[in-house]
């Protein structure tokens, strides 16, 4: 059973909360330092705390109050205060592991050595923020890079990422960032890479949906072993977001080039046949044809069946107006029901005048009604 949470450090930028396990056979001499991912500021407990405490680990949760990419930890006095508080609260013989997803994964790698961790488990760590415009307002400058000094010598690092994310325009380039992290850390530590194809960013949800995240974490934390399950086996779990993305893309009635670009990076590269066949059926549903159909058919075979995309029929594209030739006069269709037969729309000025006129009519009608009412009340 864990002790009640204890606040070790608090500031305007972040809080550090600790959970200590009671001495028992299930308690493990390992402190998991958990970093919140971006967008989890409202969480009441550290990221992953429920699972970690049930597994018998002591937990230190670093909870930011803004999406600042843990820039306050770049100040030496902040890092020193947090490190001293952890050292004083837990026994000296406890080892440490940093753990995080996305923004939290970056912090788990960048501050592992500063917090005394000999292991780091990072799920889809991004290397830079300027690639994604929606993150540019979070930080004033580029986030501090991860280097060989970010981890302790002879430490063990596990990075889980989607190898299909290689183009910044299609999303965070996790495959490029993961290779860059490995190159930066490999000189001082053992770096293992866990590929999760077509899980998207971050891979956390896909691993959790397939019920693989817990077993992978336990093998790494307890035995320094990298569990590599078959993440492409046919199953009803996982890849839910990808299937939804393919359906929504086709329903959006986008240009064929946009459809080809995304599907070639997601459906065509899948070894997961169930999703590949879903892409095939979806393409046939909307009447898509071309080289992509041939490639998908060749890879996944002649797929038969039906797919329920949506009960609503996508709105047909509006026809473009015909260009007039030289000397050709523009004619308007004045048949009943046509746009030309309808009365012209009022301008804003005319609408305001009409509204004032109607208000004046209503006032005059009320005034006349009051006069009639008064006349009816006079004694005969």
Mean pLDDT, rounded, for 358-378: 78
Residue 199 has which token pair? 């899980």
108 has a pLDDT exceeding 80: yes
Q: Scan for tokens 């009365």, then name that residue.
A: 343
User: pLDDT at position 190, please?
Assistant: 93
Question: Is cis: bond before 320, omega within 30 of 0?
Answer: no
Band the pLDDT of 266: cuts 50, 70, 90: low
- Of 2-6, 167-171, 207-211, which gets the smallest average pLDDT? 167-171
280 has a pLDDT exceeding 90: no
User: pLDDT at position 10, please?
Assistant: 92
Q: Which tops the pLDDT comparison, 249 or 368?
A: 368
Record the pTM: 0.61
Band the pLDDT of 366: cuts 50, 70, 90: confident
User: pLDDT at position 297, please?
Assistant: 74
Query: How big, in percent rounded to 5, are the helix, strand and coil portions of the chain?
Result: 40, 15, 50
Give me the chain's average pLDDT, please.
Answer: 76
Exposed e or buried b for every residue in 52-85, given b needs 16+ CB within 10 A?
bbebbbbbbbbbbeebbbbbbbeeeebeeebeeb
User: pLDDT at position 42, please?
Assistant: 67
Q: Which tops the pLDDT comparison, 315 or 237?
A: 315
Domains and CATH numbers, the chain: 6-223 (3.40.50.1820), 240-300 (no CATH)
180 has a pLDDT exceeding 50: yes
289 has a pLDDT exceeding 90: no
8 has a pLDDT exceeding 90: yes
112 has a pLDDT exceeding 70: yes
Region of residue 159 (left: phi > 0; alpha: psi -120 to 50; beta: else): beta
Mean pLDDT, rounded, for 58-86: 92
């Amino acid at each position: 059973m864990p002790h009640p949470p204890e606040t070790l450090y608090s500031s305007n930028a972040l809080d550090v909360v600790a959970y200590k396990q009671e001495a028992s056979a299930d308690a493990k001499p390992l402190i998991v330092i958990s970093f919140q991912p971006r967008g989890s500021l409202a969480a009441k407990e550290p990221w992953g705390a429920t699972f970690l405490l049930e597994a018998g680990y002591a937990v230190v949760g670093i909870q930011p109050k803004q999406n600042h990419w843990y820039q306050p930890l770049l100040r030496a006095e902040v890092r020193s205060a947090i490190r001293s508080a952890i050292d004083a609260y837990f026994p000296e013989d406890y080892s440490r592991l940093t753990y995080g997803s996305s923004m939290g994964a970056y912090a788990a790698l960048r501050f592992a050595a500063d917090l005394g961790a000999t292991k780091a488990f990072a799920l889809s760590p991004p290397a830079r923020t300027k690639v994604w415009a929606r993150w540019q307002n979070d930080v004033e400058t580029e986030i501090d890079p991860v280097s060989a000094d970010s981890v302790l010598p002879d430490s063990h690092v596990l990075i889980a990422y989607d190898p299909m994310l290689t183009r910044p325009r299609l999303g965070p380039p996790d495959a490029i960032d993961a290779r860059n992290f490995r190159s930066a850390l490999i000189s001082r530590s053992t770096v293992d890479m866990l590929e999760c194809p077509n899980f998207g960013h971050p891979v956390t949800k896909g691993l959790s949906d397939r019920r693989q995240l817990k077993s992978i974490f336990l093998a790494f934390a307890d035995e320094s072993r990298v569990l590599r399950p078959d993440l492409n086996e046919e199953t009803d779990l996982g890849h839910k977001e990808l299937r939804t993305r393919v359906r929504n893309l086709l329903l959006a009635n986008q240009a064929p080039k946009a459809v080809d670009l995304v599907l070639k990076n997601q459906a065509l590269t899948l070894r997961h046949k169930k999703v590949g066949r879903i892409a095939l059926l979806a393409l046939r549903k909307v009447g898509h044809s071309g080289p992509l159909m041939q490639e998908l058919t060749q890879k996944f075979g002649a797929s038969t069946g039906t797919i329920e995309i949506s009960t609503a029929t996508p709105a047909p594209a509006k026809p473009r107006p015909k260009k007039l030739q030289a000397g050709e006069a523009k004619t308007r269709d004045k048949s009943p029901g046509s746009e030309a037969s309808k009365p012209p729309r009022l301008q804003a000025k005319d609408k305001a005048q009409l509204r004032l006129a109607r208000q004046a009519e209503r006032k005059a009608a009320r005034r006349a009604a009051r006069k009639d009412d008064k006349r009816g009340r006079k004694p005969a």
